[in-house]
């Protein structure tokens, strides 16, 4: 039998949140930016326009205040999760968290991301590389006949080995 005891709790929680990246260019989706992480943020430098002289790259297209709002939403979500995980017991209900963000700071940084987009048989494929870690995400074309042929070759090799073992053990 399950017993539950409910009682009100209140208190204060202080934490420091940092390092949330908001892609400022539309060519990199939020999910791609998350999948390609991590970045060593301490090794990055603040953005300066002369860094891009002579290079092809996309300018920031998302306004800074929009990026700031996205960051605040993420930090509010993290704070609510932190408070929820701190509460005693297995479950809780009617959790209300009033959060006040006291220091807002943001930087525009250039992340070393390399994007390759190509078309193969009328379908677009993208590869994205984290220039710091070498982590790679993307889609690649898959050829069903080649996969079937590879499986057939492996099965044939296994069949030959089994037949050889049977023949040699006679």
Q: How far is CA 33 from the centre of its chain?
A: 6
Claim to verify: residue 106 and residue 158 sit in the same structural domain: no
In what side-by-side order are the strands of the sheet with 136-138? Answer: 113-120, 123-130, 136-138
Claim to verify: residue 82 and residue 153 sit in the same structural domain: no
Domain total for the chain? 2
Instruction: Evaluate whether residue 116 is within a structural domain.
Output: no
Burial of 113 (0-12, 13-18, 19+ CB in 10 A): buried
Instruction: Evaluate whether residue 119 is within a structural domain.
Output: no
What are the Cα distances from residue 76, in Å, to 15, 65, 67, 81, 95? 11, 16, 14, 9, 13
Q: How far is CA 30 from the centre of its chain?
A: 8
Residues lower than pLDDT 70 in the chain: none
Instruction: Evaluate whether residue 125 is within a structural domain.
Output: no
Claim to verify: residue 27 and residue 91 sit in the same structural domain: yes
Please tell me the predicted confidence (pLDDT) of residue 16: 85
Which residue range is the domain that position 66 belongs to? 1-110
């Amino acid at each position: 039998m399950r017993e539950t005891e409910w009682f009100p709790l209140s208190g204060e929680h202080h934490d420091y949140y940092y390092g949330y990246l908001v892609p400022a260019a539309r060519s990199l989706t939020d999910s791609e930016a998350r999948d390609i992480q991590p970045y060593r943020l301490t090794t990055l430098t603040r953005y300066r326009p002369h860094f891009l002289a002579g290079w092809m790259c996309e300018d920031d297209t998302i306004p800074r205040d929009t990026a700031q709002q996205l960051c605040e939403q993420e930090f509010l979500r993290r704070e609510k999760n932190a408070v929820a995980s701190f509460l005693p017991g297995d479950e809780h209900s009617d959790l209300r968290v009033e959060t006040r963000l006291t220091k807002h700071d943001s930087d525009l940084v250039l992340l070393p991301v390399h994007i390759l987009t190509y078309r193969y048989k009328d379908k677009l494929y993208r590869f994205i590389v984290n220039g710091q870690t070498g982590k790679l995400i993307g889609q690649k074309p898959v050829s069903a006949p080649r996969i079937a042929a590879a499986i057939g070759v492996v099965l044939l090799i296994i069949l030959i080995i089994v037949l050889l073992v049977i023949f040699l053990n006679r």
